[in-house]
Structure formats: C-alpha cells, structure tokens
C-alpha cells in the first residue's frame, strides 16, 4: 500500500454540515437536512452539506442474500446507485459529495481528516457533524468493505463459482447467514414437497455453523425452530454450539487485505470447528455479524464493542461538543435495521435545527424512542420466511409479502434521491 501523502488543509468559507457515511443513515440525514432543516435556518446560503463516503455508490445491503446468489434474481441496477446523482437536483453550492474515508476526528478544533482515493488527506472543518458510517459485514459480498466495485466483483466471482460447488459452509446463524443459506438452498436444491422434511437428493450440501443454541438470536425459540425446519427443506443443515476456529486459506471468503485480490472468495476452504471437526468446503461464507466503522473516532467516545456512545434520546454525542451527532447502526442507541433509521432521522433533523437556531429555537428537544418489541423479518428462500413485528409472530406468507419478494429493494431509490424525506424546497 502506498504511503499517505502530505496533508492538505481546507479552510471552509460556508458553514459545513459534514455527514460521514453514504448508506441509509448518512444519505437520509443529508437529504432530510436539505429539505426539512435548512429552510428553517437564517442565512440559508451560508450552509453547505458535504457527504463523505468510501464508495461513489450506495449499496442496498438488505438485498445481498439474494444478490449474492444470482444477478438474474437481483440485478446490480437495483442494488447499486450513484450517490452524487441522487443529489443532483439541489441548487449549486448546497451540496458536495466527496469520495473518501474518514481517518481522523478532532472535536477540539472541529475537524475531520478524509483520506481520498489518491491517498491525499483532506481536512474539513465542520460547523455540524453527523457520523453515520454504519457497520461493515464480515463477508465482502454482503456489503461494501472499500468500494462498490470490489463488492460487485466479489459477487460476480461467487456467481461464477456456484455451479461447481458441492459443499458450502456458512459461518453465522443470524439473519444474514440464515437468509443467504436459504437463498442458496432454494436456488441449488429447490424446496422439498409438503410431506418431506428435506430434499431426497440435494445437489449441494449447505451447512450453517453457529455458536448459539438456536438460530436468529433476536427471535423467540419457536420462530427459530421454524426457520431450521424451512432451511432443512432446502437441504441446509445447522450445527449448533460450535464456532469456526480457523479457515485455510486465512482469507477464505474475502478479499486479501493487502492487495484486495478476490481469490479467497471462491477458494476451496478447510474449515476447522471448535468441536474438533473439519469440513472441506468448496465455498465458505463468513457471516458472523458486523464491525462498526469507527476506526477514526477517539476511543473515549466508543463502547467496548467499538460503537459510538451517543445520547440515546437526542442522538447528540454530548462529549464531542456542540453540533455533533451519530445516527444509524454505528451508534449504541440503535436497535438495528432500516426501519429504526427511518424513525431516528426526523429526531436528528429536529435537534440539529434547534442547535443551529441557537437562541431562536423554541420548544423542547425531540426525543428518539426505540421499538424494543420483537421485530425481525427473515425471508428463507424465494417463497418462505419467519419473523415477528412489534411482538406479533408473522405467518410465512406475510414475511414473504413484506420483505421476501425483493428484500426491500424498492426502498433504495427513494432514499438515494431523497424523495423519502419530502420535496426539495423552492
């Protein structure tokens, strides 16, 4: 990797509202500010929203379990969207998109360092800061690790390798692992008949390995058991109470961290389990949770697991000084998921408005209230699913109808173009 070039400091003339992150939370925060916050502020022309993201394109991550199986099932055109294009209709000077990665944050002097694709570092002085950098999935084909091109190429490589696979190991029994195994099982093995518990002669042996005693930790045991039964009808077996101790090659399933080569995505893999067993897999899928993208944030702002500790009601990062916020999966307040982000964005916007109005603000802070009732929808294959909403167990058909048809693909465009958050003010 080449060394970082000399730092370039940018002295901002406008009041920069800096938004870090170009997924559901960051893009929504930027559009909502421009449409619903900025019109209420004095001297509107003095503000510029600058959105920074590691990739030029937004990726609709909920669609990944189907997208990794086949581009025919879920085309790239419905998964990847140009971010800058989504903001093209705003007046000149209101919005700036910057492709780069946040690598430093100094709240004492209100600056964030952005490492650009050419390795030059650009330092931005912010008037307000929204950290919405989200989380990175374990598997590169499940979401963006660096650029959207890398994720797209990893998916293409996986697509090409699937026809020759006879054994697939999925590490992780959460939604990503279950959904992906279900899509693979349905595509490769089909769905056993009504009176059969499993396919008679599955073409591919698919195994989920989970350290838990059940699948889908956020859902009740009865729902998890139903998920296991549906998976079995697609030729998917589950090994419980067991961890993946090691894999060979060490980068199996992923890009090489030094060169970004994608050989590991399709590498034949020796999977060693904590029970001493080894499995020889033609394809290995690491789906063991996510990692918060907070490497640039000073550690005293982070939880033990690396998430940003912010005010769970107002979404401010109180210890970071005025006008600093965190929204979405990157923060400890968030219970996870797109719907939770949708609930938080109006709260963020109203409190940003109050803070930027200063003495002219009226009323009290808007407060975020999470939905803590059992809520999770998990499609399994192209016609089944399990889940609950607000504590109510949902029939399989409802899960398919709400999420399983397209994995919320229809939500992506309104987020990217901002129409989710109202009209552009005239």
pLDDT along the chain (426 residues), means of 10: 43 83 99 98 96 98 97 96 98 97 98 98 98 98 97 98 98 98 98 87 97 98 98 98 98 97 98 98 97 98 98 98 98 95 98 95 94 96 97 97 96 98 93
Q: Give the whole-angstrom CA distance, residue 114 versus residue 17.
A: 15
Q: Estimate the share of the chain in helix, then strand, then coil, as percent rounded to the nearest 5.
A: 30, 25, 45
Q: Give the whole-angstrom CA distance, residue 283 versus residue 364.
A: 54
Contact 19, 50 (CB under 8 A): yes
Domains and CATH numbers, the chain: 7-54+100-138+291-370 (3.50.50.60), 140-288+375-404 (3.50.50.60)
Q: Encode burial over 65-85: b for 16+ CB neighbours within 10 A, e otherwise.
A: bbbbbebebbeeebbbbebbe
Contact 192, 233 (CB under 8 A): yes
Radius of gyration of the chain (CA): 22
Query: What pLDDT was estimated at residue 251?
Result: 97
Neighbours of 280 (CB within 10 A): 11
Q: Is 136 helix (H, G, I), strand (E, B) or coil?
A: strand
Query: What pLDDT was estimated at residue 2?
Result: 38
Contact 236, 203 (CB under 8 A): no
Environment class of residue 127 by beta-carbon count within 10 Å: exposed (0-12), middle (13-18) or buried (19+)? Answer: middle
Closest CA to 42 of 314, 358, 426: 358
Q: Which residues contact 393 (CB under 8 A, 6 or more apart)?
A: 220, 222, 223, 387
Q: Name the token pair of 88.
A: 């093209």
Neighbours of 361 (CB within 10 A): 15
Q: Give the whole-angstrom CA distance, residue 303 versus residue 336.
A: 16
Query: What pLDDT was estimated at residue 13?
Result: 61
Query: What pLDDT was estimated at residue 3?
Result: 41
Closest CA to 396 of 227, 173, 232: 227
Q: Give the whole-angstrom CA distance, residue 421 versus residue 84.
A: 17
Query: What pLDDT was estimated at residue 175?
Result: 98
User: Would you give the DSSP letter of residue 308?
Assistant: B
Q: Which residues contact 375 (CB under 8 A, 6 or more apart)?
A: 337, 339, 388, 389, 390, 391
Query: What pLDDT was estimated at residue 362?
Result: 87
pTM of the full predicted structure? 0.94
Contact 365, 313 (CB under 8 A): yes
Query: What pLDDT was estimated at residue 194?
Result: 81
Q: How many residues does the chain have?
A: 426
Contact 163, 287 (CB under 8 A): no
Rounded alpha-carbon distances, angstroms, from residue 289 to 105, 138, 266: 26, 6, 20
β-strand pairing of 121-125 with 7-10: parallel
What is the spatial order of strands in the sheet that 278-281 belongs to? 244-248, 269-273, 278-281
> DSSP letters of 75-129?
-GGGTEEEHHHHTTTSPTTSEEEEE-EEEEEETTTTEEEEE-TTS-EEEEE-SEE
Query: What pLDDT was estimated at residue 60?
Result: 98
Closest CA to 189 of 233, 228, 223: 233
């Amino acid at each position: 990797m080449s060394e970082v070039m000399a730092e370039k400091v940018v002295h901002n003339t406008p009041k920069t509202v800096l938004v870090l992150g170009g997924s559901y939370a960051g893009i929504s925060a930027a559009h909502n500010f421009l449409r619903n916050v900025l019109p209420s502020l004095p001297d509107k022309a003095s503000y510029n929203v600058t959105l920074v993201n590691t990739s030029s394109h937004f990726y609709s991550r909920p669609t990944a379990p189907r997208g990794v199986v086949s581009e025919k099932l879920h085309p790239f055109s419905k998964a990847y969207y140009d971010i800058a294009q989504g903001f093209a209709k705003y007046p000149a000077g209101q919005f700036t998109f910057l492709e780069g990665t946040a690598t430093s944050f100094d709240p004492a002097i209100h600056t964030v360092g952005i490492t650009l694709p050419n390795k030059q570092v650009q330092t931005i002085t912010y008037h307000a800061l929204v950290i919405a950098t989200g989380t990175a999935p374990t598997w590169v084909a499940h979401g963006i690790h660096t650029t959207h091109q890398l994720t797209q190429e990893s998916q293409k490589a996986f697509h090409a390798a699937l026809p020759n696979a006879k054994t697939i190991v999925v590490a992780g029994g959460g939604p990503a692992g279950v959904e992906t195994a279900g899509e693979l099982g349905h595509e490769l093995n089909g769905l056993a008949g009504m009176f059969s518990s499993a396919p008679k002669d599955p073409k591919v042996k698919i195994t989920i390995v989970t350290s838990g005693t059940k699948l889908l930790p956020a859902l009740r045991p009865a729902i998890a058991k139903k998920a296991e039964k549906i998976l079995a009808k697609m030729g998917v077996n589950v090994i419980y109470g067991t961890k993946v101790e090691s894999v060979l090659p060490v980068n199996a399933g992923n890009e090489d961290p030094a060169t970004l080569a994608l050989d590991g995505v399709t590498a034949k893999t020796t999977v060693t389990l904590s029970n001493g067993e080894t499995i020889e897999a033609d394809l290995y899928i690491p789906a063991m949770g996510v990692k918060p993208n907070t490497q640039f944030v000073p550690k005293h702002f982070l939880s033990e697991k690396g998430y940003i500790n912010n005010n769970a009601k107002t979404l401010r990062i109180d210890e970071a000084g005025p006008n600093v916020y965190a929204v979405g999966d990157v923060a400890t307040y968030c219970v996870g998921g797109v719907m939770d982000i949708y609930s938080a964005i109006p709260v963020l916007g109203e409190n940003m408005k109050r803070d930027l109005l200063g003495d002219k603000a009226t009323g009290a802070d808007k407060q975020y209230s999470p939905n803590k009732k059992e809520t999770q929808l998990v499609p399994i294959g192209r016609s089944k699913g399990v889940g609950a909403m607000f504590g109510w167990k949902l029939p399989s058909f409802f899960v398919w109808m709400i999420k399983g048809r397209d994995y919320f693909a229809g939500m992506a465009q309104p987020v990217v173009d901002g129409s989710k958050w109202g009209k552009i003010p005239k």
